[in-house]
Structure 1
């Protein structure tokens, strides 16, 4: 009986580890990414530890006062800080992003991260944020955030942020993967390569040929 209890606890512990972990747990103190290696693995090959230096664990100026260029169709600019540009993050299961928003509606459009939960902190400005839960309820959770406020977007949920203010806004995101990935919904659906069939899009969105053609033209 005791052995069965121990076995049950062990199985439960392993299940909990799998539930809460996504990126593999590190097996050494650090594995600074060798971004020049041609070896293909799930992540990056480690540099020789003897060549690792303090700068490998340093990324300068992420939250400096230099505005990023938000002069684009959506009015936002995302500075991603993942293991490919910050080698010290390799195998640690985390990454960062700075998001700059233009005044009056600068938008980080609806998107999802296939490998991460995201925690967003407002550094400057006022943001309307939200995410949509899964089918069939498709519940919409939203909030208006001020400077210093924090909001979490659960793993895999479609989410967005929009600047409500008349001045630029800035936010900092922390993500639970060294390579969270991003799928911007409109770009993916209407700008895929090769293109999704117009018949599929017409049925999915319950619209006509002209609407589908117009939307696809926006994402060449």
Structure 2
């Protein structure tokens, strides 16, 4: 009897394992509309493999992260990304990184990475960082986690959650971020909500934010800077 039970447990675990490995991989683009044309040249996840015979060391190399980004913009920060789009050797490896430069009191505005968790390391300066949990249950608020980071400190922003970094010092700050995706994506909240093309109907935003439509119209009229 004990042997039969053991065999049954093994069989169930085998089925569960098979099901778990049969799930679709995470997408690396915002959408992929299905077509019946077999001659289409757009591939799932946007990349195809280079012939191994013509691969060189340069396919796995990129320079320039020692150069500070231009922070003379409305938000006072600049993100220099290294992902599969500018370092082809990252394709299928599931990693990428970025350098973030902050002017004094510069901010990397609230944003999300829909396809990757971020781990941030401060090299220079002092940053106030944080992320907000997803919508909780009834009668609960979205919890905010924050921390002051100094050189050598590390902080993690879980995949898909809204997060930010703010330089609280009087001097510049520099940080490096790693991601568990070759193309983690980024959605800057203010840009997406108030700077979409075409604009989101102001009646919708006025109702959503519980403000007068004139406030929404003003926000939509602003130039929303992309620091990436």
TM-score computed with the length of structure 1 as normaliser: 0.85
Residue 205 of structure 1: how far off its partner (Å): 0.4
Task: Tell me, in whole angstroms, the C-alpha distance in 2 between the residues paired with 1:115 and 1:7.
Answer: 33
From 184, 202, 205, the counterpart of 1:201: 205
Q: Would the aligned equivalents of 2:78 and 2:102 in 1 still touch at CA under 8 Å?
A: yes
* Residue in structure 2 matched with residue 10 of structure 1 by the alignment: 14
Residue 98 of structure 1: how far off its partner (Å): 0.6
Unaligned runs of 5+ in 1: 25-37
* Residue in structure 1 matched with residue 191 of structure 2 by the alignment: 187
Residue 114 of structure 1: how far off its partner (Å): 0.6
Task: Tell me, in whole angstroms, the C-alpha distance in 2 between the residues paired with 1:163 and 1:10.
Answer: 50
From 207, 216, 220, the counterpart of 1:216: 220
* Residue in structure 2 matched with residue 43 of structure 1 by the alignment: 46
* Residue in structure 1 matched with residue 135 of structure 2 by the alignment: 135
From 140, 145, 151, the counterpart of 1:147: 151
Task: Tell me, in whole angstroms, the C-alpha distance in 1 between the residues paired with 2:80 and 2:19.
Answer: 35
CA RMSD of aligned residues (A): 2.1
* Residue in structure 2 matched with residue 168 of structure 1 by the alignment: 172
Q: Tell me the SS of whatever aligns to 2:80.
A: strand
Task: Tell me, in whole angstroms, the C-alpha distance in 1 between the residues paired with 2:96 and 2:195.
Answer: 27
Which stretches of structure 1, 4 residues or more, deviate above 6 A after TM superposition? 15-19
Unaligned runs of 5+ in 2: 29-40
Task: Tell me, in whole angstroms, the C-alpha distance in 2 between the residues paired with 1:4 and 1:183.
Answer: 47
Matched, 1:76 2:77: yes
How many equivalent pairs are there? 203
Q: Which moved more, 1:53-62 or 1:69-78?
A: 53-62
Task: Tell me, in whole angstroms, the C-alpha distance in 2 between the residues paired with 1:184 and 1:169.
Answer: 20
Matched, 1:114 2:114: yes
**Change over 3 Å in CA distance of 1:211–1:149 after alignment to 2:** same
After superposition, the C-alpha distances for 1:26-66 in whole angstroms (9 at most, x for unaligned) are xxxxxxxxxxxx5533231111101111111112131x1x3
**Change over 3 Å in CA distance of 1:39–1:212 after alignment to 2:** closer
* Residue in structure 2 matched with residue 67 of structure 1 by the alignment: 68
Q: Would the aligned equivalents of 2:27 and 2:45 in 1 still touch at CA under 8 Å?
A: no
After superposition, the C-alpha distances for 1:91-132 in whole angstroms (9 at most, x for unaligned) are 0011101100001x1000000001011000001110000000
* Structure (1 or 2) with the larger CA radius of gyration: 2
Matched, 1:159 2:163: yes
